[in-house]
Amino acid sequence: MLKGSLLWKIKSRRRQKERLYRLQEDGMTVWFESRFQRARSKQIFSILHIEGVREGYQSEGLRKYGGAYPEKQCLTIVFRGRRKNLDLAARSEEEAQRWVRGLNKLMAKVEAMSQREKLDQYPFLRPADKNKDNKMSFEEIKDMLKMINIDMNDMYASKLFKECDKSSNKRLEEQEIEEFCTRLMKRPELEELFHRYSGEDCVLSAEELVEFLKDQGEEASLAQAHRIIQTYELNEKGRHNLMMLDGFMMYLLSTDGDLLRQEHTQVYQDMSQPLCHYFISSSHNTYLTDSQIGGASSTEAYVRAFMKGCRCVELDCWEGSNGEPVIYHGHTLTSKILFRDVIESIRDHAFKHSSYPVILSLENHCGVEQQAIMARQMRAILGDMLLTQTLDGQVPTELPSPEQLKGKILVKGKKLPDLGSDPENMSFLSEEEEEEEEERVLQRDGRRVKDAMQISQELSDLVMYCQAVPFQGLEHALRNQQACEMSSFSERKARKLIKESGNSLVRYNARQLSRIYPLGLKMNSSNYNPQEMWNAGCQLVALNFQTPGWEMDLNQGRFLVNKRCGYVLKPSFLRSHQASFDPESGRGPGPRAIKLEVKVITAQQLPKLNEKKNSIVDPLVRVEIHGVPADCSKKETEHKLNNGFNPRWNQTLQFKLRVPELALVRFVVEDYDTTSPNDFVGQFTLPVTSLREGYRHIHLLSKDGASLSPATLFVRIKTQQRGGQDQPPGAGAGPSNAWSPHPAMPDLRWEMALGSGGTQLPRA
């Protein structure tokens, strides 16, 4: 890989270019150049940005255009975020295998890297050294500082430069550059925290580490302290008994010191309850890669949704001109893909990320003949994965559990009535058509009843536990609840139900599934607020996964836990058939109010938003709470001028939460602007109940959910629980002794809190 390989880049049947791909010496970057040009191409990609490598015809592009090359010579590099796949063909099977194995090894190495090692990979030295002599003048150092998002005044920069210039030749050489960077990357706030526990000798003993762990709310035994020291201490001599500052910093940056409770990164919830007792990660218009008016449809969109933990995908099925059904957004300019190709992609990728069941939400616009073709294709392609009968062969009175349905694919769709059923109660219009009909207040007529019967028996037979039925009101639904029947609601209809009959909708969702989808009038495939729907216990809250934004951040945060398996158990007060919880007010037995306190201390190595040399981020941090209406709030720090490298705030933000079991907390970093809206820098979202107390690093994510490593926030978290239940929204404003430590999040010794002092780089 270091020598390079000539690989064909495959984009279409005609556009296939042979280029030289080569791994750079840093082992972290791949660049490519045209075979017929000497100058290196500016196009590069980082190993950090690769999500996976596939062998053979395992992408839509290679299945369409790779036929001229043997399958074993083909590979696909899949990138994080919205960047398109890179489809390649090598000259030999052996060469293709070298790249597949090599990239997988490099990705594994990156995955195993500590945060400190990632910090050391920060790519600012090479471009700053303009004459490539491995020495840096003061001007080159200043350029480097701007590259890494910090505007240091000349006086302070010159002082630091002179202190590191041991040879006094006005150029920093290798060891001097290393010392300059070491001083630059100092973390005074961590030094302060370390010295509070280590004392005057500046070394942390196992016993002192136990005290720190207690204050963090961690397991606080000597055995645990020794394990941490052995894992993170860099100094061989002190590894078994003592921890230095660098080891302490390594620990705080590791997963062991992460903001997210580590037990929640595994499947820790009870997975044996009925499907309706879980929030289920759901996608709308899954086939689209862009807008729903003229965007491309692609099987890759299904693969990416599955990689994000999605467990319910939508198939918008229409008549195909060649006798085979197709999938696209009907009556628009979106491209079409074969239903068969989508089912093959689902077969190949549905269970690579999660073993729990997948629901295929069929939006059926096909005639009877092509419906039968759909049914036959699903049976032939999916085989044993496809659920074709109830688990016990009986009509169920309760939905099965995710555990019982592991590895199974369920079809959601309309079902033909039994002979004794009343056709007036049947509907086979699509979800959007039903919504439009409601709004027009159309009357049932003979044509409607005739349409109701236009469904293939073969397709009907595949619908087991997710039988789509028209919604006839909550009163009727609660009186005639059938576990296997479910209804779909537009976001507007769902909001109306929540506002007018919130508790009834909660009780409905305790027995049956409901699916919420975005209004069809949105040209840009924008999303709605999913939190409103989760508050009412709605399970299949379908979003446009291809549209980044705060709504998808909430979805990613909701399903971050439970090993990102796509199923999250609803709080107990949303699972009871006699639930008294009201999603609008937050009142009802079960929720217990808490007080959340977030001290935003510092940030590290925030990404630049503008490649111009003099463009420096002016960061601020906003903490948002998303939950029941009484809990929704946001507070932010002041902004820091010209420092995206190591800004320091030391500001405390406080929140009172009535229903923490439903709340998500979103940490957002923005670039402050006085004349226009702030620019997004990074974010991280997680459930309040998955927060760990104490001093924690938050590893920021980009707009599309990709890692921004090594960018982090350093915060201190504290939660307290107020005694009693069903407190009004303003509760908690009384005496401080009315609050006690949350049982799942032990209290901290607040006298150990960081002060507002410490070294800060001067601003220009």
439 contact partners, CB below 8 Å, separation of at least 6? none
Tokens representing 521 are 């009038």
Question: Binding site for substrate: what residues are annotated?
Answer: 412, 414, 488, 515
User: Which of the residues 284, 626, 699, 742 is marked catalytic?
Assistant: 284
Contacts of 611 (CB under 8 A, 6+ apart): none
The rounded distance, in Å, linking the Cα atoms of 753 and 681 is 27
Whole-number Å distance between alpha carbons of 688 and 624 = 11
Q: Which two tokens stand for residue 201?
A: 């000798």
In this structure, the number of other CB atoms found within 10 A of the CB of residue 719 comes to 26
Examine the residue annotation and report whether 284 is marked as an active-site residue of this protein.
yes
Least Cα distance to 118 among 193, 201, 24, 185 occurs for: 185
Q: Which of 325, 424, 307 is nearest to 370 (CA)?
A: 325
Q: Which two tokens stand for residue 157?
A: 């920069």
One-letter amino acid identity for 246? D
For residue 532, count other CB atoms closer than 10 A to its CB. Answer: 22
Biggest distance spanned by C-alpha atoms of the chain: 97
Rounded Cα gap, residues 203 and 242, in angstroms: 6
Q: Is 240 a catalytic residue?
A: no
Of 698, 715, 718, 700, nearest to 648 by C-alpha is 715
Catalytic choice (264, 277, 329, 742):
329
Under 8 Å between Cβ of 411 and 462:
yes
Residues contacting 442, CB < 8 A, separation 6+: none
Q: Strand ranges (DSSP E) for 178-299?
A: 204-205, 242-243, 278-283
Short-list 635, 620, 707, CA closest to 665: 635
Amino acid at 497: L
Alpha-helical segments (H) within 383-490? 431-440, 446-452, 457-460, 474-479
Q: How far apart are CA 440 and CA 134, in angstroms?
A: 73
Tell me the binding residues for Ca(2+): 285, 314, 316, 363, 616, 618, 642, 671-673
Closest of 464, 470, 456 to residue 422, by C-alpha: 470
CA distance 537 to 575: 8
What residue numbers does the annotated binding site cover?
285, 314, 316, 363, 412, 414, 488, 515, 616, 618, 642, 671-673
Which residues are known catalytic residues?
A: 284, 329
